[in-house]
Structure 1
Amino acid sequence: MTPRVKALLQLALLRRAWAKAEPEDPDLAGVAATVDRVWRSPDHPRLLTAEPRYARQFQLMYGALAPAGLAAGGPHRAALAEATAGDFLTPRRKSPFLHLETRYYAELAGVPHRLADYPELYRISRLAAHTDERPIAELDVCNVTHTVFHLADFGFRAPGLDGADLAHARDRVHRLTEECVRRGEWDLTAKLVLAQYCLGLDPLSTPSGAAGLRLLAEVQTPDGALPGRSATDRAAADANPVAFFRASYQSTLVVALATVVLLHRAPAEPALGGAR
């Protein structure tokens, strides 16, 4: 159940970015219809709690990513109320990354919280703590990129970093991009290309970003899919449609998300302020 829930949440995230970037794009309709159907289904909320460790975080994301037409009703409202009960929207026993992710989706859902503000959450992140003396391989790419995504609302606002902090984040993302391109990590490369954009860089112009985009273009199939997460973790040549989907959906969604954001290229909105 957990991979299914994650895939649908990622699809809803793509729908949100696509609607912000190109709301009149006719190709958005199919994605929007799928998300709308799932979010209206009374059966979907039970999938969110199939794995207790992730239940409240999934419920929060489900509520935050609900299509605008469901804002006043729908099954997501009950799930959101359950997720935000008690002390979940406080810093209590949260890792720095979970604290930041919770803050982002609580704000997106429009619910009150007692979480730290974005500058403080960056200062305690693994990305900020990484020093020049430590190997770049110590950094987890997903942790780094999602830290940047949440700070920058996936490219729709400035990340709120400047001076040494911005230079530090750009350097780590650039070096990680080089490493992932070298290893043929398609999914991670797509995330890092988008992270470069979120940090105010143009991935078409940076050496690592351009190399990453070339890598992704070379392996993309004619229908737009990425045939797996990496050169060593790709769908078998004789994979049936279900097996191919399981191998490819993650990378394909990330590339689609990066594409709609990079092609949008609207001026970033100001970074959001302190805790509420």
Structure 2
Amino acid sequence: MTAPRTAEDLRTVAGDALAWVDSRRPDFALGDDALAVDGEVDRSWKPLGELAQVCATVARHTEPSDPLHARARGLLDFAWQETHEGELFLRLQRLEPFATYPLEVYAALASAGLRHPAFEQAAAVVARTRGWRLTEQDPTRRLGVLRAEERCGIHRFGQAPADLPQTWLGGLPEPWTFGRDAGYALTHVVFHLSDWGRDAAAMPLDLVAYLTDWLPPWLDTCLEAGMWDLGGELLAVAAVVARTTGEEAPVDAWQRLVAARGPSGEIPLDDRDLGDLGARPGDGGDRYFLHHYHSTLMAAFAAVLAGARPDAPPAGAVAGQRPDGQGAPA
């Protein structure tokens, strides 16, 4: 496939990615240990929540008649059935009332209109406690929990949360301090602030200007290093920023990501030798799935956002310019 220069090309990337994800439904299914105290959340609830979040965004940005929309809705229905239509969230909440991951996964489904009123009522009771409010979390994770609370009607999300300046991105750091961990942190700050691309206008203008300046070299560095998963997340951030600035999708970056695709449209996390992981293309094993599912979801997420019609630029959102007229910091 050539470099994606049109919305149709981006749709192909998204379509192939979601088709591969759909073919791996059993790998997203919750096992018998979903409610176990010592269960592996990162291999059960986390993949299911990420599937729900990406599909909710795809459904939001596509028309009901669009095959992409139908595929996303089908995967959302699958995820919802895996939770017994939300009943497992209520059981989890009773087992671990101060764990945040049930609320975060539920919120992804709730954003697509899949609700369980009893869980929301129980979660709201716990959220009013000092113990919940004082749970120690890093600032980026805190933004995610606040967004989840908003989706469940527990509180209204402010456009500039108090924790924002404490995040790596919110502090507008020296661009040369960018690294892998900072990259994942900044992408999630953008996802939380923009409600996963639903409300790009909620991005503070100083962050838009900062990202307009520095996102291109960071993206280039990650793709040059074969960091496809982080590269996909940064392409999604580029799409969110573009929805406020009206810029085009970075064609060269998309070309690199497309070249990394597997035979069925799946994308690896990075350039590690799959032989070292005991996995190979077409392998139905767990290792191949774990090395591909998140980066493939991110490719679909980024492609749909990049192909969506840009929002109108907010007043003052000029590349490299902050609201106070100062240039973005170095």
Which TM-score bucket, shorter chain as reference?
0.7 to 0.9
The one-letter code matched in structure 1 to 2:223 is: V
**Residue aligned with 2:291, SS:** helix
Structure 2: which 5+ residue stretches go unaligned? 1-39, 315-330
Q: Judging changes above 3 Å, is the alpha-carbon distance between structure 1 residues 263 and 200 closer, same or farther for their aligned structure 2 residues?
A: closer
**Residue aligned with 2:83, SS:** helix
- Separation in 2 of the partners of 1:181 and 1:47? 42
The one-letter code matched in structure 2 to 1:28 is: A
Aligned mate of 1:60, from 103, 116, 137: 103
- Separation in 1 of the partners of 2:246 and 2:224? 16
Mapped contact 1:193–1:258 kept (Cα < 8 A): yes
CA deviation string 1:51-101 (max 9, x = no partner)? 97x96221211332235564254x744763475252366366332212211
1:147 aligns to 2:189 (yes or no): yes
Q: Which residue number corresponds to residue 80 of structure 2?
A: 36
1:2 aligns to 2:41 (yes or no): yes
- Separation in 1 of the partners of 2:253 and 2:131? 38
CA deviation string 1:166-221 (max 9, x = no partner)? 22233332232111011011100000001011123689846xx3332112211223
Q: Which residue number corresponds to residue 211 of structure 2?
A: 169
| CA drift at 1:123 | 2.4
Q: Judging changes above 3 Å, is the alpha-carbon distance between structure 1 residues 45 and 218 closer, same or farther for their aligned structure 2 residues?
A: same
Q: Which residue number corresponds to residue 55 of structure 2?
A: 15
Q: Judging changes above 3 Å, is the alpha-carbon distance between structure 1 residues 179 and 203 closer, same or farther for their aligned structure 2 residues?
A: farther
- Separation in 2 of the partners of 1:144 and 1:98? 11
Q: Judging changes above 3 Å, is the alpha-carbon distance between structure 1 residues 264 and 129 closer, same or farther for their aligned structure 2 residues?
A: same
Aligned mate of 1:192, from 216, 234, 243: 234
Aligned mate of 1:211, from 230, 238, 252: 252
| CA drift at 1:260 | 2.1
1:104 aligns to 2:147 (yes or no): yes
Aligned mate of 2:294, from 250, 259, 263: 250
Mapped contact 1:177–1:189 kept (Cα < 8 A): yes
- Separation in 2 of the partners of 1:172 and 1:47? 44
Q: Which residue number corresponds to residue 115 of structure 2?
A: 71
CA deviation string 1:129-154 (max 9, x = no partner)? 24337533386211010001111112
Aligned mate of 1:237, from 276, 280, 292: 280
**Residue aligned with 1:154, SS:** coil
Q: Which has the higher contact order (CA 8 A, sep 6+)?
A: 2
- Separation in 2 of the partners of 1:81 and 1:122? 23
The one-letter code matched in structure 2 to 1:152 is: S
- Separation in 1 of the partners of 2:161 and 2:240? 16
Q: TM-score w.r.t. structure 1 length?
A: 0.78
Aligned mate of 1:220, from 261, 269, 274: 261
- Count the aligned residue pairs: 262
Runs of 4+, deviation exceeding 6 Å:
201-204
CA deviation string 1:111-133 (max 9, x = no partner)? 137x8752543322211324337
Report the RMSD for the aligned CA atoms in angstroms: 3.4
| CA drift at 1:246 | 1.9
| CA drift at 1:39 | 3.0
Q: Quick check: which one's helix share is greater?
A: 1
Q: Judging changes above 3 Å, is the alpha-carbon distance between structure 1 residues 170 and 237 closer, same or farther for their aligned structure 2 residues?
A: same
**Residue aligned with 1:14, SS:** helix
Q: Judging changes above 3 Å, is the alpha-carbon distance between structure 1 residues 152 and 42 closer, same or farther for their aligned structure 2 residues?
A: closer
Identity %: 21
| CA drift at 1:237 | 2.4
Mapped contact 1:155–1:268 kept (Cα < 8 A): no
Q: TM-score w.r.t. structure 2 length?
A: 0.67
Structure 1: which 5+ residue stretches go unaligned? 271-276
